Structure 1
Amino acid sequence: MISRKVGRRRFVAGTAVASAAFVAAPFVRGANAAGKLSVGFWDHWVPGANKATEALVKEWGEKNKVEVSMDFITSQGNKLLLTTAAESQAKSGHDVLAFSTWLPARYSEQLVPMNDVMEPLIKENGAVNGTVEYLGKLNGKWLAVPATSGSQIKGPCSRIDLLKKHAGIDIQAMYPVGGAPKADAWNLDNFLKAAEACQKGGNPFGIGLGTTSDSVDTAGALFHAFGAQLVNAKGDIVVKNDQVRQVLDYYKKLMQFLPADVPSWDDASNNKFLVSGQGSLIMNPPSAWAVAKRDAPQVAEQLWTHGFPVGPKGRYAPFLPYFWGIWNFSKNQAAAKSLITFLSQPSSAEKMTNASQGYDLPSFEKLTTFKVWAEESPPKGTLYHYPNPHNHQTLSIAAAPAPHKIAEQIYTQAIQTQMVVRYAKGEAMDKTLDWAAKELEGFTRN
């Protein structure tokens, strides 16, 4: 954990952030406002990306005369998750903390309501996508604010040359820079044909079916594309339905054309597979491309990030937002809200996105057209379609729309990928569905 301290001066109540008149004035005020603030950020994968966040916090701290201490906490080894749990139990720690995906709902009773921050931000920056609302809002109360840093779409990243060579697909023509997708024919049937062609050509798709996030997220998008729910929004177990049967049958066909060891893949496996030059397509944010640019430039110059194939019930892409939340035991909630609002301004979001080489993805509608995505290279424009600028696909998360406490367990226990592997390896459909139903019954009781 790396600590940075900025703005070593005491807080002066009522000071507004200069970049936007409304940013700090409604929040940073009052006799009880303290002169210190402690923030725990997610430690970024992309080298140098943390520096933009440091600079922004330093700017805010100096203008508002607040002494801010920053910790960048890695998610490797579940350190950020463990930090969150420890602070929740101790009722002591950071004023502001980064919360991944399901955690705002998990800690909803200990988080400060953020409606007074989110409502002006939505008015200024546009609506957030449905997945952010599902994860970050409960019973009309915003639990946290979607963070720019760390939020990501895990869409397809393909080899331009290999898709042309093996499958006859010009992915750049299908997803042109500066224009809307021309992807009506990019459906699950043609996706399966392309996977078969690339496998026969010696460069298969690298789609994991393990129990970690990358595999679960991809499975979630495919389940959504078939309209396949395990548990509905009311909490009813509905796993034994035709849509689930259809997606399992589809996945069984797809697995024939994937590397044999994909059930054991973790979140690093698909990245390594692509960067090594073996793979034609993976599902990932631009981190794999960024690594290839550094370590295998001949691979990077052939990579193109684009949309997911459309299924019977629509075109979905996995979206994993991070959030910034404030503990209700924070002693400086006003200043914390001010800082989060400042970090959510368009200029701040763009600086963080630029520093991450386009990896970071703001959740607000008006913040998905920054120049970085059209200009990043090689090849130029490779990330243009990454932020979904034309609303080409629905951003989703696996296990939705189940109630959070059930959905989080479906997600963390990788029920969907386990179902796929069990069935693809020869287990009878009914036995797979019975196994899933029993697991889900346990989740609903808990």
Structure 2
Amino acid sequence: MNRRDFLKKAGILASAVPLAACAAKAQQETETETRSSNNQNVLKVVQQKHFIAGYDQWFDEEFVINWGEKNGVKVEVTHASFGDLFPIATGFVAMQTGCDVFAFPSPPMAFEDDVVDLSDIGKELENSFGPMLPQAKNCLYNPQTQKWTGISDHWVPLVTNWRSDLWEEVEPGSSPQTWDDILRVGRKLKRLGHPIGLGMSTDLDSNIALNGLLNAYGSVIQDEKGLVTVNSAETVAALTLGAALYKETMQPEILAWNASSNNQFLLGSKGSFAMNAVSVTRVAEKNDPDLAKVIALSPPPAGPVQRMTPANVVSVYTVWKFSKQIDLAKQFIKDLILAAETAFQKGELYNYPSFPGAVKNLEAAYDKEPKYAFLKTAPEWVCNVGYPGNANAVTNEIFDNYLVPKAFSLVAIGTLTPEEGSLWLEKEVNKLVARWNVRNIANNS
């Protein structure tokens, strides 16, 4: 079964085709052969709506316009939500039309056959700025085929946002440095009416945070060679801790959270702890300065083995093989990396540059805001999806199907024991391995 047949069977392609069809119809109505009505070249870009509004304002109103004028091109940018991007991409592939540049918010390895190899500009950029950080490169590079499926401009650390005033009230001097800290202090916080917020639902932050909880206990989905290793004593221990957190520190609502729930939970003054990017605290700084003063930030909690959590977002710019503007699209991506310093500033420390050498005095920039200074150490505690191996088509599907949050929720509500949850997770992962035929599609065969 090939990738497209698999996607059809999974029902993904069917849901995405209407989106692509709309895009194709709009494209046919507004241009012919990627040219606008005034015979000007058109470059179409699709990417995620950034969580920092000022970044999109800079990108759309400054970078894109200036780049287009310099290159004699009209650049059309469409922003979509995280959850819509993969269905849109699948639809574009089915229709073989839609845009030229597509920025994925997580590893695009399932689309390796559909995108242009960007190893030429990747190597050029590494020669100029030093290596791309592994948090990004391991999400886009296939060591088996040596193909760069895209170029990453930035990735985003998932961090702990917590109410320092509430933690101090129930246990002076406490902080969520470890998962044991969260369980111990979380019991007191829940009694106070300010529970812990750790989603066990089908949303991005739940997915990332719970993968980090597995890693903290030494559990990994696959090893360096891509072999499935998730059914382990370490996984059982992590699931056991997750169930205790749910029963003793949280409320049932976390089982049904969506992408904005933990933001609302913390910003609404109910919550005492949430794992998110720094964007939630940035929102508080703008809308509720008094609340922002008592929201502290720190790296994700450590476990008995390590502190290691996948990046919340990994921005990967790709070029479709069906694009009629491939050279232009590659230049656009390259020039975006060359603008990394301004992009970093406009991201308000949300973006960690994938090429840190492209941003002068990077550590000094973090030190200017003491509350955020710890982010300069993010490469020490952030990994890629698929860690300790590279991301591949199977790890993409594990992530997109929310298998890890589902396992945690099943154990939390008592449907499965931790041991059964570990075995269930292994069986579900192995189903994907079989369906994708790892030897031909995944990276680490």
Q: TM exceeds 0.5?
A: yes
8 Å Cα contact 1:316-1:393 kept in structure 2 = yes
Deviation at 1:373? 4.0
Match for 1:83: what amino acid?
A: I
**Partner of 2:301: helix, strand, or coil?**
coil
Shift of 1:195: 2.4
Give 1:365's match in structure 2, choosing from 338, 344, 356.
356
Contact 1:220 1:398 in 2 (8 A): no
How far did 1:200 drift? 3.3
Count of aligned pairs: 391
For the pair 1:119 / 2:119, whether they are aligned, the reply is no
Task: From the two aligned structures, give the one with the greater helix fraction.
Answer: 2
Are the counterparts in 2 of residues 37 and 69 from structure 1 also a CA contact under 8 Å? yes
Question: Within the alignment, does 1:218 sit opposite 2:209 as a pair?
Answer: yes
**Is residue 2:94 matched to residue 1:96?**
no
Q: CA deviation at 1:415?
A: 1.6
Task: Tell me the distance in 2 between the aligned counterparts of 1:238 and 1:67.
Answer: 49
Asked if structure 1 preserves the Cα contact closer than 8 Å seen for 2:265 and 2:271, the reply is yes
Distance apart, 1:307 and its partner CA: 0.9
Task: Give 2:64's aligned residue.
Answer: 57
Q: CA shift at 1:233, angstroms?
A: 4.6
Deviation at 1:50, TM superposition (A): 1.4
Q: How far apart in 2 are the matches of 1:324 and 1:68?
A: 18
Report the counterpart of residue 114 of structure 2 in structure 1: 110
* 1:361-402 CA-partner distances (Å, limit 9, x unpaired): 322233482666444xxxx5332223536x442334367647
State the partner residue of 1:393: 381
Partner SS for 2:280: helix
Aligned match for 1:443, one of 432, 437, 440: 432
Which residue number in structure 2 is paired with residue 137 of structure 1? 141
Q: Which shows bigger deviation, 123-132 or 328-337? A: 123-132
Q: Equivalent residue of 1:310, what SS?
A: coil
Amino acid at match of 1:70: E
Contact 1:211 1:266 in 2 (8 A): yes
2:205 matches 1:199: no
- The equivalent residue for 1:176 is none
Find the counterpart in structure 2 of residue 272 from structure 1.
264
Indicate how the Cα distance of structure 1 residues 337 and 326 shifts in structure 2: closer, same or farther if over 3 A, else same. Answer: same
Q: Distance in 2 between matches of 1:82 and 1:419?
A: 24
2:316 corresponds to: 323
Q: Measure, in 2, the Cα distance between the counterparts of 1:130 and 1:244.
A: 24
Question: Are positions 1:79 and 2:84 aligned together?
Answer: yes
Give identity over the alignment, percent. 21
Q: Tell me the amino acid that sits aligned with residue 58 of structure 1.
A: I
**AA partner of residue 410 (structure 1):** I
TM-score (norm 1): 0.79
CA distance in 2 between counterparts of 1:329 and 1:233 reads: 33
CA contact (8 A) 2:385 2:395 kept: no
- Match of residue 337 from structure 1: 330
2:251 paired with 1:246: no
Deviation at 1:216, TM superposition (A): 0.9
Distance 1:40 1:420 in 2: 33
1:212 Cα offset (Å)? 1.4
Residues 317, 278 of structure 1: alpha-carbon distance in 2 compared, 3 angstrom cutoff: same
Alignment match of 1:163 (pick from 144, 156, 167): 167
Residue 421 of structure 1 deviates from its aligned partner by: 2.0
Pairing partner for 1:407 from 395, 403, 411: 395
Are the counterparts in 1 of residues 47 and 103 from structure 2 also a CA contact under 8 Å? yes
Q: What is the one-letter code of the residue matched to 2:114?
A: Q
Equivalent position amino acid for 1:334 in 2: D
Shift of the alpha carbon at 1:414?
Answer: 1.7
1:35 Cα shift? 4.4
Alignment of 1:46 with 2:37, yes or no, is no
**CA deviation vs aligned residue, 1:258-280 (integer Å, no higher than 9, x gap):** 22321111221110010011222
Q: Structure 1: where are the runs of 5+ without partners?
A: 4-33, 172-184
DSSP-derived class of the 1:283 partner: strand
Select which of 344, 347, 353 maps to 2:344. 353
Farther off after superposition, 39-48 or 245-254 = 39-48
Instruction: Write out aligned runs for 1:172-211 (5 A).
Output: 186-211=177-202
Which shows bigger deviation, 161-170 or 362-371? 362-371
> 2-side partners of 1:198 and 1:397: how far apart?
32
Contact 2:236-2:419 within 8 A present in 1 as well: no
Q: CA deviation at 1:326?
A: 0.9
Matches of 1:341 and 1:301 in 2, distance apart?
39
When residues 203 and 369 of structure 1 are mapped into structure 2, their CA distance, relative to the original with a 3 A threshold, is: farther
Cα deviations by residue, 1:313-343 (Å, 9 ceiling, x for unpaired): 3211330201111112222222222221111
How far apart in 2 are the matches of 1:435 and 1:187?
Answer: 27
In structure 2, distance between residues paired with 1:72 and 1:199: 42
Task: Give the corresponding residue for 1:382.
Answer: 371
RMSD between superposed Cα atoms in Å: 2.8
Distance between the aligned counterparts of 1:124 and 1:158, measured in 2? Answer: 39
Question: Which region of structure 1 is more displaced relative to structure 2, 49-58 or 309-318?
Answer: 309-318
Q: Distance in 2 between matches of 1:421 and 1:372?
A: 39
SS at match of 1:313: coil
Cα distance in 2 for partners of 1:214, 1:398 equals 16
Look up the equivalent residue of 2:112 and give its one-letter code: S
Residue type of the partner of 2:90?
Answer: A
1:424 paired to 2:428? no
Task: Provide the C-alpha distance between the structure 2 equivalents of 1:371 and 1:84, rounded to a whole number of angstroms.
Answer: 38
Contact 2:215-2:309 within 8 A present in 1 as well: no
Any conservation in 2 of the 1:210–1:265 contact (CA below 8 Å)? Answer: yes
SS at match of 1:409: helix
Letter aligned with residue 324 of structure 2: K
Question: How far apart are residue 257 of structure 1 and its match?
Answer: 0.9
8 Å contact kept, 2:284–2:292: yes
Q: Distance in 1 between matches of 2:200 and 2:226?
A: 26
**Whole-Å Cα distance in 2 between the matches of residues 114 and 80 of structure 1?**
21
Provide the secondary structure at the position in 1 that maps to 2:53: coil
- Say if 1:231 and 1:402, in contact at 8 Å, map to a contact too: no
Taking structure 2 as the reference length, the TM-score comes to 0.80
